[in-house]
Amino acid sequence: MKPFDSHAFSEFDKWKTTFPFHSIFFKTSILQNNNVTLTEKCFYEDSEYTLYPLEYCKDFFYIPKTLYVYSIGSASQSVAFNNLLKHIDNQEQVIRNLFVFYTREEHSNKQNYIRQRIFEVLNFYYKMTLDSRWYKNKILQQRKRVFTAELKKINKNLLSLYINQTVLQKVLYRTNYRFDGFVIKLYKKMKNRRWR
């Protein structure tokens, strides 16, 4: 990607990367003129910020400069594990909202980019649920199964595309996330043998 050149979102298939929220800036007029709103009083809405304005953007510019620095590592941050559990409702609501947004934008030239960004958010959620503090908790496991079923109702095709990306996700989904600990241990052993 050439710096300072204009790029179309249809070029996404060439570079296969999305941009983290702290590297994305939109013209204020795009946000104001189109009444772009995010979920209020909610953590993790930065994922909405990275996608919702795209509906009104024709292209983008890549600037290879650090424009914003986001510090991580504090136990008080929303991405710390205990806070993730505390705010799981927020995280799930944002993912539901993204699924609805994708359904609206399913035929746009930005579809591949939007889908990949949603998959990154899903990866974050499902990786968190594979932590032993999560999968040993039956209430949280049931919650994940219910949440996954909700996503399937919103957009079955999008969820299927996500699940079919990796062998691990396929196995976890097909076992209805009932044997996460066992499946993860088995997968790690198989992976060490260079099997995927």
Q: What is the pLDDT of residues 3-34, one digit of tens each?
A: 556 777 767 666 667 777 777 888 899 999 99
Measured distance CA(64)–CA(59) in Å, rounded: 17
- Tokens at residue 122, please? 């899903």
- The pLDDT tens digits for 74-100 are 666 666 667 777 888 999 999 999 999
Helix or strand or coil: residue 23?
A: helix
Considering only CA atoms, which of 109, 122, 125, 132 is closest in space to residue 161? 122
- The pLDDT tens digits for 179-193 are 777 776 776 676 666
In the predicted structure, residue 167 carries a pLDDT above the cut 70: yes
The residue whose two tokens read 């600037």 is: 63
- Residue 88: phi, psi to the nearest 5? -60, -35
In the predicted structure, residue 101 carries a pLDDT above the cut 90: yes
pLDDT, position 182: 74
Q: Counting beta carbons within 10 angstroms of the beta carbon of residue 95, is it exposed (0 to 12), middle (13 to 18) or buried (19 or more)?
A: buried
Measured distance CA(148)–CA(189) in Å, rounded: 26
pLDDT, position 150: 96
Contact 132, 89 (CB under 8 A): no
- Tokens at residue 28, please? 């204020």
Q: How many CB atoms lie within 10 A of CB 121?
A: 20
In the predicted structure, residue 155 carries a pLDDT above the cut 90: yes
Measured distance CA(50)–CA(85) in Å, rounded: 23
pLDDT, position 168: 73
Helix or strand or coil: residue 8?
A: strand
- Which residue blocks in the chain are alpha helix, DSSP H? 12-15, 28-33, 46-51, 81-86, 88-104, 111-129, 132-135, 138-154, 156-163, 167-174, 180-192
Reported as a pLDDT band with limits 50, 70 and 90, residue 195 is very low
Per DSSP, what are the bridge partners of residue 61?
Answer: 6
- Tokens at residue 56, please? 């009104």
